[in-house]
Chains A and B, each alone.
Chain A
């Protein structure tokens, strides 16, 4: 028998919808806190295993080769093009002010402080981070990580520590490479194609870019490297079953590494500016 619709039904519907929304938000918040907790525990275990046992060369070298040597071409190319693009984008404004000889200062300053480290790290999160997540994810799915444990070997020691150390040591080195290639790219475009005098170009660069700016970028890349390794290895270790699970782990590794790079860049940028102000209360030199 059909019953007349109760007037309270729409209210109950809205209440139900709101309750569902709150429940979903709660689930998401709990999931996020649990995820951050998981990664933190994972990070402490990884750092613990760096000191718990002597590192083996035969385990470290393949990881270092994959992370460092194999990434050189792509990082060099990234740096070179960032330098050239900066020259392309800045030239018009500087020429309008008659200050094109100061182009070197703005290109090299933005390069070593910000764009070199961030774009190199982003490129490496895609190349190295996704590859690490996919490799460890496949090992999880095919029970190779279980096999390591069943032998009495620690998977963090064998699989995560070499990748973490590789990223921690080599991503700053690759950032230096990206900076160098960017400086070359900017100079090439400014001098060879735009015809800016090389003496003024370098003189202005030297005047406005100091060691602190360069070290700021390298210091940040140390944290970017550590974050890429931990986030990517964590995704690989906790990969869902099947090809879909491995694909999702690789994608999430890149996305979450990128978010971490942006967050770290902001907070380290604020902190490093404070450090700069502490040692140089007169503030930064004026570009214009």
Chain B
């Protein structure tokens, strides 16, 4: 187990070359630095769970892996090819190897569920309409949705159904890597477990998955390996942003207080910070009133 992971994290299987390599990645939006010196090797067939509190950069890391966010330092390599060196067309071609399940499903509002699921097939294959329809139906079956949803618009579906339709769309091109952005957030416990089971079901020896989540049950159930990111503004100088890298079982035994706090879901010192912030706001409001008087 590695509780204070070094900047460069070795792959679990040193023999196999990494499918995806995140190499000293840094992302900054204006003056706000979100990710710093993140290095991860992802081997084929592995399911990596990325844990961390809100705002620590998990989604930015996920989007960097597919080139939706351009890094300000470092690089992401897919099968040894650098994403930052790719043009629009190469990147578009590479993205056919990925499936991305968005937090809010991100289904296209103006299209029906069938058109949504069929979209990648129409964009990247020369299949006929009946063939595309057949594949769309089989994907809808695979994620456990009734076929009656095919003609519905996304707005007519519940949150859980939309997430499953989003998963069906992500699987349409039989991707090598599936990226899940908080797939169970906002769902009831039963639907959360349904999504967890679906993630396990679509996990084939050839499919590599990265799951960004807050949910410890999801992490324990689907993860082969777990990393935990920590917000940069809470780190001391020189500390790595990846504060844990190991298996789900190792996560539960981690002695690191930052990891323990997250795993056990304790507010701890955050409550004190909240009270201090409220007191500060109250003071500044009083000062403003005095100035007006």
Q: Does A143 belong to the interface (CB within 8 Å)?
A: yes
Contact B102 A143 (CB under 8 A): yes
Interface membership of chain B positions 173-185, coded 1 if the CB is closer than 8 angstroms to chain A and 0 otherwise: 0000000000000
A window 17-72: CB within 8 A of B: 62
Contact B88 A150 (CB under 8 A): no
Indicate which residue in B98, B103, B110, B123 contacts A143 across the interface (CB closer than 8 Å): B103
B95: chain A residues within 8 A (beta carbon):
149-152
22 residue pairs of the A-B complex, CB under 8 angstroms, read A62-B110, A142-B104, A143-B102, A143-B106, A144-B106, A144-B108, A146-B63, A146-B68, A146-B106, A147-B100, A150-B66, A150-B68, A150-B95, A150-B98, A150-B100, A151-B95, A151-B96, A151-B123, A152-B91, A152-B92, A152-B124, A153-B119
Indicate which residue in B107, B109, B123, B169 contacts A152 across the interface (CB closer than 8 Å): B123
Total residue contacts A-B, CB cutoff 8 A: 53
Instruction: Give the complex CA separation of A153 and B88 in angstroms.
Output: 10
Instruction: Give the complex CA separation of A151 and B115 in angstroms.
Output: 13
Contact A153 B104 (CB under 8 A): no
Contact B119 A151 (CB under 8 A): yes
Interface size of A in residues (CB-CB distance below 8 Å): 15
Q: Does B120 belong to the interface (CB within 8 Å)?
A: yes
Contact B68 A153 (CB under 8 A): no
A273: chain B residues within 8 A (beta carbon):
none
Residue of B nearest to A147 (CB): B106
A152: chain B residues within 8 A (beta carbon):
91-96, 120, 123-124
| Smallest CB separation, A191 vs chain B (Å) | 46
- Residue among A138, A139, A142, A148 facing the most chain B CB atoms (10 A cut-off): A142
Instruction: Give the complex CA separation of A149 and B68 in angstroms.
Output: 7
| Smallest CB separation, A44 vs chain B (Å) | 13
Residue of A nearest to B102 (CB): A143
- Residue among A62, A138, A144 facing the most chain B CB atoms (10 A cut-off): A144
Indicate which residue in A62, A142, A153, A154 contacts B106 across the interface (CB closer than 8 Å): A142
| Smallest CB separation, B141 vs chain A (Å) | 21
4 tightest CB-CB pairs across the interface, nearest first?
A: A147-B106, A150-B100, A152-B95, A143-B106
Residue of A nearest to B123 (CB): A153
Instruction: Give the complex CA separation of A95 and B124 in angstroms.
Output: 69
B107: chain A residues within 8 A (beta carbon):
144, 147
B88: chain A residues within 8 A (beta carbon):
154
Contact A143 B92 (CB under 8 A): no
Instruction: Give the complex CA separation of A152 and B91 in angstroms.
Output: 7
A146: chain B residues within 8 A (beta carbon):
63, 68, 100, 102, 106
Instruction: Give the complex CA separation of A201 and B215 in angstroms.
Output: 78
Contact A147 B108 (CB under 8 A): yes
Interface membership of chain B positions 257-276, coded 1 if the CB is closer than 8 angstroms to chain A and 0 otherwise: 00000000000000000000
Instruction: Give the complex CA separation of A149 and B95 in angstroms.
Output: 8
Instruction: Give the complex CA separation of A153 and B169 in angstroms.
Output: 13
Contact B63 A151 (CB under 8 A): no
Instruction: Give the complex CA separation of A153 and B111 in angstroms.
Output: 15
Instruction: Give the complex CA separation of A147 and B110 in angstroms.
Output: 14
Interface membership of chain B positions 108-135, coded 1 if the CB is closer than 8 angstroms to chain A and 0 otherwise: 1110000000011001100000000000
A window 87-142: CB within 8 A of B: 138-139, 142
Interface membership of chain B positions 57-94, coded 1 if the CB is closer than 8 angstroms to chain A and 0 otherwise: 00000010010100000000000000000001001111
B96: chain A residues within 8 A (beta carbon):
151-152
Say whether, besides A153-B119, A154-B92, A143 and B124 are in contact (CB < 8 Å).
no
Residue of A nearest to B115 (CB): A58
| Smallest CB separation, A157 vs chain B (Å) | 10
| Smallest CB separation, B69 vs chain A (Å) | 9
Instruction: Give the complex CA separation of A152 and B66 in angstroms.
Output: 10
Instruction: Give the complex CA separation of A219 and B100 in angstroms.
Output: 45
Residue of A nearest to B69 (CB): A146
New A-B pairs, 20, CB < 8 Å, besides A143-B102, A150-B95, A154-B88: A142-B106, A142-B109, A143-B103, A143-B106, A144-B107, A146-B68, A147-B100, A147-B102, A147-B107, A150-B66, A150-B100, A150-B102, A151-B96, A151-B120, A152-B91, A152-B92, A152-B95, A152-B96, A152-B120, A152-B123
Instruction: Give the complex CA separation of A150 and B166 in angstroms.
Output: 12
Contact B103 A144 (CB under 8 A): no
